[in-house]
A = this chain, B = another copy of it.
């Protein structure tokens, strides 16, 4: 199967608090733009994170990547950094950025990508609520 291209996805999750608040603006401007997401006392979410890698199945294992290893990378570099944390205050890789899910997904890609060997990181998909999610494929605009 060494010449077939297969995509495999692992799901993890974490819970976190955040707010959408731009310190350059007044409280009123923040509320006008971000609505109740700007609540100064924070709100939070259960985030579902899907990480997809692509590659060809190894003949001896049938794997494109050992999912236990992918799980460990996601947990060591992302879940342990984000779970039960405040995205605005506690997360080094989100410092000086708006705590939107768009920026969070890009940050997660940058945390995971250097640790993927032999196959390639394909996609970060991040659900914030039942009603919205973002995807990032490492693409430039």
Q: B residues within 8 A CB of A9? A: 132-135
Known: A6-B134, A11-B131, A35-B68. 16 other contacts (CB 8 A): A4-B106, A4-B139, A5-B140, A8-B132, A8-B135, A10-B132, A15-B44, A17-B17, A17-B42, A34-B61, A41-B85, A41-B86, A41-B89, A43-B85, A46-B130, A56-B141
Give the chain B neighbours of A8 by CB distance below 8 A: 101-102, 132-135
Closest approach, in angstroms, between the C-beta of A10 and any C-beta of chain B?
A: 5
A115 within 8 A of B: no
Closest to A106 in B: B4
| Measured CA separation A131–B90 after assembly (Å) | 24
Question: Does A116 sit at the interface, judged by CB under 8 A?
Answer: no
A contact residues vs B (CB 8 Å cutoff): 1-13, 15-18, 20, 22, 24, 33-37, 39, 41-46, 52, 55-57, 59-64, 66-68, 83-86, 89-90, 97-103, 105-106, 129-137, 139-141
Q: Can you spell out 15 A-B residue pairs with CB atoms less than 8 angstroms apart?
A: A1-B102, A4-B106, A10-B131, A15-B129, A17-B44, A34-B61, A39-B85, A43-B44, A43-B85, A57-B103, A57-B106, A62-B97, A62-B100, A62-B102, A64-B102
In the assembled complex, the CB of A31 is this many whole angstroms from the nearest CB of chain B, namely 11
